[in-house]
Structure 1
Amino acid sequence: MRLVVFDVDGTLVDSQHHIIRAMTAGFAAAGLEPPPRAEILGIVGLSLPVAVAQLLPMADLATQARVVEAYRVSYMQARGERAAPLYPGALDCLDRLSARDDLLLAVATGKSRRGLDAVIAAHGLQGRFVSLQTADGHPSKPHPSMLWQALADAGCEARAALMVGDTSFDIQMARAAGMPGYGVTWGYHPAEALDAAGAALIAEDFHHLTRAIEDWAS
């Protein structure tokens, strides 16, 4: 068996509007001007407290905590109003890969488990993944802890697994776990950053990604 681990935000789900809104609300709650859009999207993939600390390196812990809490509240409100959409082709890719008897699928995301569960429920993705790894129980990406646990859950070795993600953090995490990282161009980090991080492949759309995974699994 082989294992394919997917990131969520920026890879399967286009959550950028929810993220920008929530981070803007978080900064406002602390009386701060929000950073530029590009800076906010640049930290997507990191666990939320780590992301906020990176955006506010000079702020005290209490200020960072206010931003984190307000972000969470705003994101939950946005998610309740409208689920972030899957990228075109994402569901077809997951359906096609999960139908194979030689592949297992998993998730490694900087989201909370509650947030991941909401995504899975909103898009009917139940039953497709053998392992769901979130920020709740692991160090932030690019630490490979989430991938180590996904490998253990699937009973696979790193040489029989790959990571798919849209950020350099995903690629760095994959390399730290001893597996290839496939980058995607429709997410939040540019292709140049994925290449610099050591992506084994950079897919331009889900058709390209699906074929590349099938070739790897053959």
Structure 2
Amino acid sequence: MQYNTIIFDCDGTLLNTYDLIAHTVVKTFEECFPNIKLSDEEVDAFFGPLLEDSFAKYTSDEELFNKAIDTYHKYNLQLHSEYVYAYPNVKEVLKTLKEKNYNLVIVSNKLTATIKYGLEIAGINQFIDKIIGSDIMKAPKPDPDGIKQALNGIENPQALMVGDTAFDILAAKNAGIQSVGVTWCQTKRADFEKIGADHIIDDMMELLNILE
């Protein structure tokens, strides 16, 4: 299939933000929920879903909930420069795709401004044509709205979604486009096979083979 548009998730796909998110979650809980000691599995559960959905599991108090969200964003921005960087071969692949005139878009369940900041720190913002964050979507992935917005204005879009979680693969399915699961974050090859990813790669360079 001939594609003209590649849609990427951000965290866990283009940017290694694992340590950033883990440190941010821990510092937020130390400040807002000092009596709760999170397990590694509970910290990992913050990867992928909307932040609001994650914190809603820990409090029904609106004031505390809002404080936790604000505190998370505060620490997340403070720690970006220390913990955010692109995965191996991401910059090289984005550069190659841009030279081949692909439309490169990010659709992420993360705030648009924070996505842009991370891309700038990693030195890859110049390759991205459009960013659809959680504040722009009508509903988060796996809802297809972000992908549909990403394709608005592109003539005869033939798109491929690249992501590291089930949310990305299911969003692609719901939008009627093909998907690529990447194995360098948390989701394993067997899990991608189970949810029906069309392609699975272990290195970003392999994406170029799919597009040949």
Alpha-carbon distance in structure 2 between the residues aligned to 1:141 and 1:17:
23
Q: CA 1:61/1:117 → structure 2, altered by over 3 Å: closer, same or farther?
A: same
Q: What's the % identity of the aligned pairs?
A: 24
1:93 counterpart residue number: 93
Number of aligned residue pairs: 207
Equivalent positions of 1:17-36 (< 5 A) are 17-28=19-30, 29-36=32-39
SS in 1 for 2:153: helix
SS in 1 for 2:106: strand
Structure 2 unaligned spans of 5+: none
- Select between 85-94 and 67-76 the one with higher mean Cα deviation: 67-76
Give the aligned residue type for 1:49.
E
SS in 2 for 1:174: helix
Q: CA deviation at 1:22?
A: 0.9
2:103 counterpart residue number: 104
Q: CA 1:178/1:92 → structure 2, altered by over 3 Å: closer, same or farther?
A: same
CA contact (8 A) 2:98 2:104 kept: yes
Alpha-carbon distance in structure 2 between the residues aligned to 1:67 and 1:190:
30
Indicate yes or no: 2:193 matched with 1:192. no
Give the aligned residue type for 2:198.
A
Give the alignment's TM-score, normalised by structure 2.
0.89
Give the aligned residue type for 1:96.
T
Alpha-carbon distance in structure 1 between the residues aligned to 2:67 and 2:4:
42
Alpha-carbon distance in structure 1 between the residues aligned to 2:105 and 2:179:
14
Equivalent positions of 1:44-55 (< 5 A) are 44-53=47-56
2:41 counterpart residue number: 38
Give the alignment's TM-score, normalised by structure 1.
0.86
Equivalent positions of 1:25-174 (< 5 A) are 25-28=27-30, 29-53=32-56, 56=57, 59-62=59-62, 63-80=64-81, 82-101=82-101, 103-138=102-137, 139-157=139-157, 160-174=158-172
Q: CA 1:51/1:180 → structure 2, altered by over 3 Å: closer, same or farther?
A: farther
SS in 2 for 1:181: strand
Q: CA deviation at 1:51?
A: 3.0
CA contact (8 A) 1:44 1:51 kept: no
Alpha-carbon deviations, 1:145-167, whole Å to 9, x = none? 1100001133344xx11100000
Alpha-carbon deviations, 1:67-101, whole Å to 9, x = none? 22221111111014x25011011101101111103
Give the aligned residue type for 1:15.
T
Kindly report the root-mean-square deviation, in angstroms, between the aligned alpha carbons of the 2 structures. 1.9
SS in 1 for 2:26: helix
Q: CA deviation at 1:209?
A: 2.3
